[in-house]
Structures are given as structure tokens and as C-alpha cells.
Structure 1
Amino acid sequence: MTLDQYRPQAQRIMQPAINLVRRAGITPDALTVGSFIVSALAGIAFYLGGVVSGTILVALNAAFDALDGALAREMGIAGAHGDFLDHVIDRYADIFIITGIFAGGAAPWQIGVFALTGVLMSSYLGTQAQAVGVGRFYGGILGRADRLLLIIIAGALTVMVPVEICGLNYLGWLLVIFGTLGHYTAIQRFIHVWREIGKQ
């Protein structure tokens, strides 16, 4: 199961930050747009070889991504517009960050495309379940929160323990994991949705 199952606990942990941004007059949509900006900057940073800055920006993306929905729920304004905007920007964020990592030389483009398609397909099937009337489904082995945490860990290890295994550093191997587990998660979600459709 993914880290998404711990959303209620995360909400309680983030409450001080939620209160702070709310007092500052920052809106959920502003946080969502902020996550888009920092994800684009993270991709550029990784592309230019700035693993430290890229990793920090991914951490900021994760923080903004967690705060926008939590703030919307806190304010009682969570709705379809914000949810739609959040999902669109999350997919662009995935594209920026993963493309930046492999285009920056952490892995060959073939591995990068494998990772990117795995991530996008697993995310697509999570929301497509809702489109066919089953209800949104985020089960499976690898969710977005998991990916962001793993990128932060791999980025830190790449800086602190700069070694390569079979020509790939930690970020490069992470893309292999993203591709493998991403497609596996997509298959898990497909099977779940297919079975649920059969029950209708």
C-alpha cells in the first residue's frame, strides 16, 4: 500500500503549516501553482547537474502538493476545480522531474521513458477508475507520495555517496524502479477496476 493511506495522519502533522499558510492568505490554488513552478525548476536543476538543488526543489514540490489539498479541506472549499488542477499539475510535475533526471545523464533515455510511462500509466489508471464509475482508486505498490520520497532519498544518497553500479547512480537506478513498479502498479489498478466493472 502507498503512503497515500496515511493522509489523515499527515494532515495532523501538517496542521501548524496549514495554519501558517492560511493566516498568510495563501490559497490552495496558489500552492498548486507553486508546486508546478518548483517541479519545473527541479527538472531544470537535474538536467543541469544540480542534484542538491533539484532534490531540495522536489522536497518543496512534495510540501506544496501535500499542503494544497489539506488547506482546501481545512477551509471547506475542496472541489472539482481544485482537484482537476491538482491532478493536471501533478502529471506535469512528474514529467518535469523524471525527464530532468534522465536528460541530465542519470540514465539512458530508454530507462527514462520506461520510468515515465510507468508513472503516467499508474496515475492514469488511478483516476480512470473514477471515469468508468468505479470510484477513484489509488491502490497498488507505488503512489506519488512514495515516488517523491524516494527521489529525495536517492538525490541525497547520490550527493553523499557518489557511486555508480553498472553505470547508474542512485537516481538512475531509481528510474529503473519507477518503471518496474509503476507498470506493476498500473497492472494492479487495471485488474482491480476490471473486476469492479464486472460487478456492476
Structure 2
Amino acid sequence: MLNVFARVHVNRVTEPLARWLVARGVAPDVVTVAGTVGSVAAALWFLPRDELFVGAAVITLFVLFDLLDGAMARARGHSTVFGAVLDSTCDRVADGALFAGLAWWCLGVGEQRVLGVAALLCLVAGQLVSYIKARAEGAGLVVEGGLVERAERLIIALVGCGLHGLGVPYALHVALWVLAVASLWTVGQRIAIVYRAAQARAVPPPAAPGPADAAPNP
């Protein structure tokens, strides 16, 4: 997850633009959907055509919309339950399209079938990481942390994809295999966090002493 210092610098760019869009009546949900549509289209158009650098650059541009819609909600002074669900759903769609596009490249023009396994592992494990958190929060448990969350997954995948498109050897191989292992590790971490949270909630609090227990022995 982006650290506090990174968020401060990013907010300096997104917040003025968010206020400008809100002042002109643009809804955060519109930006959310536009960013998702752009990310999906770029991933499924450029990557299978072996245009990895251009694809990574365009996807990165649309992924930044995810930061902008949150800033717009803050600028508007409130968010909605529907907006939160829409944002989470669109995140899963965009992530799935990115790794599906990479797997498509690996199994097609890239001729990297073994690497395609890594891309598919990233796809499945990344969705599981997010699903475990959502399912646990639906059950009333707080789940935070993990080795690689969405921001890290996108950064590693897009940097590896872009560098490979520029001709850096094995950049995508390293990125996808590292990410596959780290994502599977994060799934285990999330399950362990949920288990501990569930166990802590299941333990009943100590009973308060009653009048008879509080009274001193004669």
C-alpha cells in the first residue's frame, strides 16, 4: 500500500483536479467507470499485440483514476455505499484484465507458456487477496496488511511489463514470478489474520464478579 509520504505527494496533484471536476458536476462514479473501461481496453488491446510498453503506460494513466475518484469524494464532502461497492468491483475488473492480458501475451505472441502460469497465478491470487478481506469485513472482522496489496501488485506488474517492452531482458519474468509467490504468500497471511481475528472475537470476555463473588468471606 502506498505509504503516507507517497500519498501526500500524490494528493497534491489529485486534490486540485478533483475539486475542479466536482465544481463542474462530474460524479466520482463516472471517473471510476471511465478509469476501469480504459484500463480494461488498454490491457486487452495493447498487451496481446506485443505492445507492452505502450500498454503499461496507458494502463498506468487509467489506474490513476482510482486515486482521483477518492479525492473527488473527499472534495464533495461525502461518499456513498454504492460508490464504495462500485469502486471495489471496478478494481477487481481492472486487475483481472491486466493479468489476463499478460497471460494472453504469454500464451500467444510472447510464446512464454511457463510464464503464462505465473500470470494466471497472479490473477487468481490477487483476486483471492481482495476477496478474503471483503468476505471477512462482511462478517465483521477487521483485516489489514499483507505482503503485497493492490498498489504493490500493480506497480510490480506494470513496471515489469513496461521494462520488458523497452527490451530489458527477463524484466517481466522476474516481476511475474516474484509477484506470484508474494501474492500466494499474502493469501496465507490474510487467512491467518482472519483466523486470529475470529479466534479473538470468539473468546468471551471475563465475567464481572457478582455480589456474592465480591463479598468478603466471613
TM normalised by structure 2 equals 0.79
Q: Distance between the aligned counterparts of 2:5 and 2:82, measured in 1?
A: 24
Q: Give the aligned residue type for 2:187.
A: A
Q: Which residue, out of 112, 116, 128, partners 2:123?
A: 116
Query: 1:169-194 CA distances to partner (integer Å, 9 max, x unpaired)?
Result: 32233222222111111111111111
Distance 1:49 1:160, change over 3 A: closer
Q: Please show how residues 32-47 of structure 1 align to structure 2 within 5 Å.
A: 32-44=32-44, 45-47=46-48
Does residue 28 of structure 1 match 2:44? no
* Secondary structure of residue in 1 paired with 2:79: coil
Does residue 85 of structure 1 match 2:92? no
Query: 1:23-62 CA distances to partner (integer Å, 9 max, x unpaired)?
Result: 3432110111012111212222111111122112221232
Q: Which residue, out of 162, 165, 171, partners 2:168?
A: 162
| Per-residue deviation, 1:102 | 1.8
| Per-residue deviation, 1:21 | 2.4
Q: Distance between the aligned counterparts of 1:38 and 1:111, measured in 2?
A: 24
| Per-residue deviation, 1:195 | 0.6
Q: Distance between the aligned counterparts of 1:178 and 1:42, measured in 2?
A: 21
| Per-residue deviation, 1:157 | 1.5
Q: Distance between the aligned counterparts of 2:54 and 2:104, measured in 1?
A: 16
Q: Give the aligned residue type for 1:3.
A: L
| Per-residue deviation, 1:101 | 0.9
Q: Please show how residues 93-132 of structure 1 align to structure 2 within 5 Å.
A: 93-105=94-106, 107-108=112-113, 109-132=116-139
Match of 1:3 in 2: 2
Query: 1:109-152 CA distances to partner (integer Å, 9 max, x unpaired)?
Result: 322221111111111112122011113x3411111111222233
Q: Where does the alignment leave 5 or more consecutive residues of structure 1 unmatched?
A: 164-168
Higher relative contact order, chain-length normalized (CA < 8 Å, sep 6+): 1
Q: Give the aligned residue type for 1:49.
A: D
Does residue 140 of structure 1 match 2:181? no
Question: Rg: which structure is higher?
Answer: 2
Q: Distance between the aligned counterparts of 2:6 and 2:168, measured in 1?
A: 33
Q: Distance between the aligned counterparts of 2:144 and 2:60, measured in 1?
A: 22
Instruction: Kindly indicate whether the alpha-carbon contact (under 8 Å) linking 1:101 and 1:171 is maintained by their aligned counterparts in 2.
Output: no
Q: Distance between the aligned counterparts of 1:173 and 1:37, measured in 2?
A: 28
* Secondary structure of residue in 2 paired with 1:52: helix
TM normalised by structure 1 equals 0.86
Q: Where does the alignment leave 5 or more consecutive residues of structure 2 unmatched?
A: 202-218
Q: Percent identity?
A: 25
Count of residue correspondences: 193
Query: 1:74-120 CA distances to partner (integer Å, 9 max, x unpaired)?
Result: 21231210111111111111111101012112542322221111111
